[in-house]
Structure 1
């Protein structure tokens, strides 16, 4: 389709300048610090690793006394392909994210790094007739893709074969991703931050720009904790607590999730051979425990363990393995709850932090169809980036997102298709709202 032309000047519009790359990071000769990362979960840890791989130093600030204290502290995170039937932008990102995370964990294991993980396979069962139809479309689509290294490998199983692979009787067949599995997130976070400077027990409360480039960070007491060439805010809901990011709060949703787990001594005859993924999930034994769940509660703000959520997890488990669920009671279960952060379109926000007020001034008439206007490049808070909003998919999304941001900071191009990168750009919400006439300068 031909781009519209300004009837007076004859000029064509700039190609989405609101998504232009940020100015690459420049090392500041006035200090030795490179990039500060705020948040010690899988997103922040992945940013440390991605930067270090490019030869850029990273200092990680975690408000708690240990890494992976939020949703990234769960004992098991699934490395399961996220495949969409229609090859949507979300599907393209998370499919690439799964491959990136899977390859990363395998590489670390091959290097002898202390990551707890197992590529035992993931059995995905449909929870509804619609899920079954969707699985067939996914199978058809994957079967037509060329066989290349790292491609998602899937095998359709009938009910008997699925039960045999899992080690438990299931009510239906499904898809078996033989190269998938699980990883222990805290162990991965520790390995990913091995080359970074880690500062725990420090809550960053404010960022102020430095003259020329970089930013100065302050703690809750108002004391400076250092000057850095760039900053990545990689927290959960607290990502919106800074002056540069307060507007993001309108596009972030807290999802409370509780997992349940039980000791293998409770059911000594139980043998789970692979990860089971259905409406919820069930894991093989790790450290003497089987994990299952999880609940999803929108706009919750507590992480107390509740008996009702244990009951909900048991009921959910009963849809896939009723015989096992019948043997469990809330009183025999342990649990862990955390707050995940997601967004209205279920895609994370990855990239340079937009200057909200400057965006409104720069693109005030997008709602009037003036696409031939000569707009300026995207106005950002210089050297400030965000990496948040993964929901329950941080394990297959955050490492690739961190790789994207590291490339942006270094001024490198990334392999993800431009349309996918635009779908992840934090400014997408501002631009959509302007185009709909919902915002004005």
Structure 2
């Protein structure tokens, strides 16, 4: 486990010529006179990218790189892709970087290449926070996805689930950075490659040549760029004599689909359904969305205003990594809706609700786990600068307005049956057929009964809305003055349409959706603890609100991925009952084409955008945006595996 998500800043300086130089490795990031030409010669020409891009048709192409640096190689590959690839294709670029540049240094470095400036501006605008882990950047207008790992190269590729078509083996020279060129790195290059995978590298160093040859690559020396005498190129040899390295992920969590994409139906139009449908639609997949109510986001996602609140922990766990990655992705995802009054980036202040939480805050502070740009402690409070508020219902409506999405209201899912080619769905005495089904309805899993029962539980929550004009004058001033979301036992967001939106109750064993004065009173009490305004019991009668059911999970983690039949899992994985460390290379049987994305509880605004991107990437065979340890924590099979290991089934 990591002790910190903070990253060591690169020690670099810019010379009189404007070229960035690493003090750590005593080397330049690129040659001022020939940087573009060298990248095009070494990596583009010797991976035959112009030719390969031109023949893509309806295909993805994945490039992986060691050493993102200034992003120059990425921009050159992107430029080539846009010039030569068909409009129906998509570029995936994966790179690792132990010492990521700041946005300011990136901007200064890329200013040297005016011909790339429009593409550089897109990269700079979407460049991730300097935080350890996997970062996903979607550039749909450029038909491109950038996946960055900030941390050790071998660690990043070990965490990656992808199939790489071409390798850019870059970074500082092996003589200056020998630690990167480890056997573990070459093992992961082997694992992520296939029979058509090529590589190119500027170096001809023996440590690189021997590493590639011993891990399945045919290696050839060719003329280097400019004054460099030699460089290396080659291709992966996938034959019976090649040792193949496999993922450390258990086979029962392997998730790659077998069925090609066809007609997709998403069940549910709340945050999970809307983000999932939109993620697929962005990749030019036609999606139908079924909503059982007569309007979009009729459940918990229908609130007028919600907060981006990740509840980050004090230690590094797969679930904490999930929420950290989701939080960073969600911040960037919502930024595109700032001008639509759907999102406001205003920050969040978290106050301790009791002494126990105060101790937790102190533990987080002592751990120094997070960069200050993500979380910092001030006077006993936690400040989350990237947070803000979202209008969930308006967001769902906007996402579902995509041209590739068709929404059907008043269409409940009553039954799913498998067919030889996909599924038969029953609704309102009508039968519909599709190839893929994604269940995103929070608390309606009856359709999964033939195969599995997932441990979710509905918990009622009521939010309240109070017109600021009902307060006394001093309180009105204070209510309009505060600019950040404030959380403790409850939450309140900055005023929207001169009203305060706040809450929420957490009502166990109560599924009544009637809005009650009792719940308004409870929320008023929470509001009084959050803001220095004069509110009391009498204000509860002036509130409006809505009640809905959160979908919570027994281990407080969403359930996202392919569905398997519980009986088949138990039958195939029986040895786990007596040996929890037992392993198998055989993937378990899935209900091919059936997926779930649910159980986001009260943190759906944080987790649904990235989980939707993960599910779409999984279904389309793209590099996944979440590291494997985290996808295991999301997988629907996890509950049966735990029961088997405990001997409960």
What TM-score range do you get, normalising by the shorter chain? 0.7 to 0.9
Q: How many Å apart are 1:375 and its aligned residue?
A: 6.0
Stretch deviating more after TM superposition (176-185 or 396-405): 176-185
Q: Which residue of the partner structure matches residue 87 of structure 2?
A: none
CA contact (8 A) 2:348 2:383 kept: yes
Normalised to the residue count of structure 1, the TM-score between the two structures is 0.84
Structure 1 CA distance for aligned equivalents of residues 538 and 502 of structure 2? 11
Q: Which residue of the partner structure matches residue 255 of structure 1?
A: 459
Normalised to the residue count of structure 2, the TM-score between the two structures is 0.58
Stretch deviating more after TM superposition (306-315 or 97-106): 306-315
Unmatched 5+ residue regions in structure 2? 1-245
Q: Which residue of the partner structure matches residue 104 of structure 1?
A: 333
CA contact (8 A) 2:580 2:645 kept: no
Structure 2 CA distance for aligned equivalents of residues 276 and 66 of structure 1? 30
Q: Which residue of the partner structure matches residue 299 of structure 1?
A: 509
The 5 A counterparts of 1:39-438 are 39-109=268-338, 114-142=340-368, 145=371, 152=374, 154-158=375-379, 173-195=380-402, 196-211=405-420, 213-221=421-429, 223-225=430-432, 227-244=433-450, 246-248=452-454, 251-267=455-471, 268-269=476-477, 270-271=479-480, 272-321=482-531, 323-326=533-536, 329-369=539-579, 371-372=581-582, 374=584, 376-438=586-648
Structure 1 CA distance for aligned equivalents of residues 440 and 586 of structure 2? 28
Q: How many Å apart are 1:208 and its aligned residue?
A: 2.0
Q: Which residue of the partner structure matches residue 191 of structure 2?
A: none
Q: How many Å apart are 1:205 and its aligned residue?
A: 1.2
Q: How many Å apart are 1:122 and its aligned residue?
A: 1.0
Cα distance change of structure 1 residues 15 and 191 upon mapping to structure 2, 3 Å threshold:
closer
Cα distance change of structure 1 residues 328 and 123 upon mapping to structure 2, 3 Å threshold:
farther
Stretch deviating more after TM superposition (234-243 or 69-78): 234-243
Stretch deviating more after TM superposition (270-279 or 395-404): 270-279
Structure 2 CA distance for aligned equivalents of residues 373 and 93 of structure 1? 25
Cα distance change of structure 1 residues 288 and 25 upon mapping to structure 2, 3 Å threshold:
farther
Q: How many Å apart are 1:129 and its aligned residue?
A: 2.5
Structure 2 CA distance for aligned equivalents of residues 433 and 372 of structure 1? 14
Q: How many Å apart are 1:140 and its aligned residue?
A: 4.5
Structure 1 CA distance for aligned equivalents of residues 465 and 614 of structure 2? 35
CA contact (8 A) 1:260 1:313 kept: yes
Structure 2 CA distance for aligned equivalents of residues 437 and 375 of structure 1? 22
Cα distance change of structure 1 residues 35 and 201 upon mapping to structure 2, 3 Å threshold:
same
Structure 1 CA distance for aligned equivalents of residues 288 and 413 of structure 2? 12
Structure 1 CA distance for aligned equivalents of residues 292 and 607 of structure 2? 23
CA contact (8 A) 2:413 2:447 kept: no
Q: How many Å apart are 1:310 and its aligned residue?
A: 1.6
Aligned with 2:265 (options 28, 36, 61): 36
Q: How many Å apart are 1:202 and its aligned residue?
A: 0.5
Q: How many Å apart are 1:52 and its aligned residue?
A: 1.4
Cα distance change of structure 1 residues 373 and 84 upon mapping to structure 2, 3 Å threshold:
closer
Q: Deviations over 1:6-26 (max 9, x none)?
A: xxxxxx999521111142441
CA contact (8 A) 2:261 2:620 kept: no
Stretch deviating more after TM superposition (364-373 or 71-80): 364-373
Structure 2 CA distance for aligned equivalents of residues 13 and 367 of structure 1? 23
Q: How many Å apart are 1:274 and its aligned residue?
A: 1.7
Cα RMSD between the aligned structures?
Answer: 2.3
Q: How many Å apart are 1:182 and its aligned residue?
A: 0.2
Structure 1 CA distance for aligned equivalents of residues 302 and 518 of structure 2? 22
Q: How many Å apart are 1:373 and its aligned residue?
A: 5.9
Cα distance change of structure 1 residues 232 and 142 upon mapping to structure 2, 3 Å threshold:
farther
Q: Which residue of the partner structure matches residue 3 of structure 1?
A: none
Structure 2 CA distance for aligned equivalents of residues 118 and 203 of structure 1? 33
CA contact (8 A) 1:13 1:374 kept: no
Q: Greater Rg, structure 1 or structure 2?
A: 2
